[in-house]
Amino acid sequence: MNLRPDPTFHASAKLAMKAPVETLAYTLLLSPDASQPDALAIIDVDPKSKDYGQIVHTVVMPNKGDEFHHFGWNACSSALSPLTGHAFLERRYLIIPGIRSSRIYIIDVKEPLKAKIHKIIEPEELFAKTGYSRPHTIHCGPEGIYVSTLGGGGKDGTDGPPGIFIMDCETFDIIGRYEMDRGAQDKHYDFWWNLPRDYMVSSEWGLPPQYENGIVAEDLMGGKYGHKIHFWDLRGRKNIQTLDLGENHQMALEIRPAHDPVKEYGFLGVVIDNTNLEGSIWTWWREDGKFHIRKTATIPPEPADADDLPELLKGFGAVPPLVTDIDLSLDDRFLYVACWGTGEMRQYDVSDPMEPKLVGSVHIGGIVRKADHPSGNTYKGGPQMVEVSRDGKRVYWTNSLYSTWDDQFYPDGVPAAMVKADAGKDGGLTLDKKFWTKFPDGYRSHQIRLEGGDCSTDSFCYPSV
């Protein structure tokens, strides 16, 4: 417990943009064949350092087969909430869930180069207290840690729908389920909120049999993956509205609300339209007490010879962009869109959230394009998990989506990679040829967190002035 609020907590997004620049990044490493334990790699991102771009500490877990995916902090700027905040917490612990094992690790990073395991929550506790499995996304709320799940109970995770549970932000005990009334929600993926406006938004991927062993082509073409988003009364813990994007819009994944809580809108990335292979960005907003959503940008597939395509795509004669992650800069101006299939990172100016304008793009990797890094190193896979610095000047990303999906779309392998691009003040992206991380053999890389917070970590409780 601190005697004053953690200096990495900021009342508004605008104040967070003025915070000290990050010097470390925390990146998850997973062993796709479970031959090694998963790990947390701590990477030097200070361009003045002799270790720039390199791993300076690693925390290796004691178990195998966890499959690390998404993770987050125990506390963030939401702790400054005027209603239910815990302002004297520290941003000290990373909460890392294993999506396959349903095991959760609490990592103490108070001394980053001596980071260590603080606590392990075994899957039996999660099952017993929530009836959920496959923990996925972590968000630090004012009064606790919220965790979304991708599975219900039972061996295959289909005994009841997945949902959200809450952990104590000091003891890390699992408290229980979030939902009092879930309404139409029967699948899960991401979630985020507008704390002062007292609502939450959640999205959908699929149930465990639809993703654990790879994409199920019949379900994709049959419109059986997630294609809805759900709006919740945050404190009432009940679903108040569900919007259906249409069965052709498959896999409604990342939720990115505006960081300034005065603004009642946000963005959603949709992986694929099964009628034309397009990826898309949608803008949702609230007006007259109701939520609305509209498709505001599309990304077309790229034609390709069948001989250059993996088995799954040969019949289509094209590479879909596969929008697998998005991230919004703290000033709510630029939206970054990872096109994992075509190997492109896109940057949109979303100053007008209803009219995104493409202002930057770089290619690296890709199913067919196979673009190398400007350093000359080979980058396999495509841009995947993306993270933006608080000041909006640096964009980092990795290349692995999910082990079994990697194998289907990139059968030649997706060895761990992490790159950085510099963002122009008014748009434009340039890959940093000096930033190339050497990872240990046999690992893949997934989500990134930045020292002191980043653009998909913190929830702000006060307007930007």
pLDDT > 70 in the chain, percent: 99
* In a domain? residue 8: no
CA dihedral sign, ordered 204, 209, 210, 213: positive
The full DSSP string for 124-165 is HHHHHHHS-EEEEEEEE-SSSEEEEEEE-BSTTS-BS---EE
Q: Is residue 329 part of a domain?
A: yes
**352-411 pLDDT, tens per residue?**
999 999 999 999 999 999 999 999 999 999 999 999 999 999 999 999 999 999 999 999
The answer to whether residue 457 sits within a structural domain is no
Of 7, 100, 42, 111, the closest CA to residue 449 belongs to: 42
* CATH number for 356: 2.130.10.10
Confirm whether 328 is domain-assigned.
yes
Instruction: Quote the CA–CA distance of 75 and 87 in Å, as a whole number.
Output: 9
Element containing residue 43 per DSSP (H, E): strand 37-44
- Nearest Cα to Cα of residue 15 among 420, 458, 347: 458
User: What is the model's pTM?
Assistant: 0.98
State how far the Cα of 350 lies from the Cα of 427, in Å rounded to an integer.
11
CB 319 within 8 A of CB 373: no
Question: First vs last Cα of the chain: how many Å apart?
Answer: 29
Q: Determine the Cα–Cα distance for residues 181 and 186; give it in Å rounded to an integer.
A: 12
For 229-250, what is each residue's pLDDT tens digit?
999 999 999 999 999 999 999 9
- Domain of residue 382 covers 13-450
CA dihedral of residues 329, 335, 338, 344 (deg, nearest 10): -110
**Residues 320 and 277: beta-carbon distance below 8 Å:** yes
- Percentage of residues in the chain having pLDDT higher than 90: 97
- Note whether residue 6 is domain-resident: no
Q: What is the pLDDT of residue 87?
A: 80
Closest CA to 137 of 79, 203, 195: 203
- Residue 241 belongs to some domain of the structure: yes
How far apart (Å, rounded) are the C-alpha atoms in residues 239 and 378? 46
193-236 confidence digits (pLDDT tens):
999 999 999 999 999 999 999 999 999 999 999 999 999 999 99
E-strand ranges in 258-393 read: 265-273, 279-287, 290-299, 302-303, 318-319, 323-328, 334-339, 344-349, 357-363, 386-388
Look at the chain and report how many structural domains it folds into: 1
pLDDT at residue 83, rounded to an integer: 81
Local structure of 441: helix, strand or coil:
coil
Asked if 196 contacts 141 with a C-beta cutoff of 8 angstroms, the reply is: no
The answer as to whether 456 is a domain residue is no
42 inside domain = yes
The low-confidence residues of the chain, meaning pLDDT below 50, are none
Contacts of 288 (CB under 8 A, 6+ apart): none
CA 96 to chain centre: 13
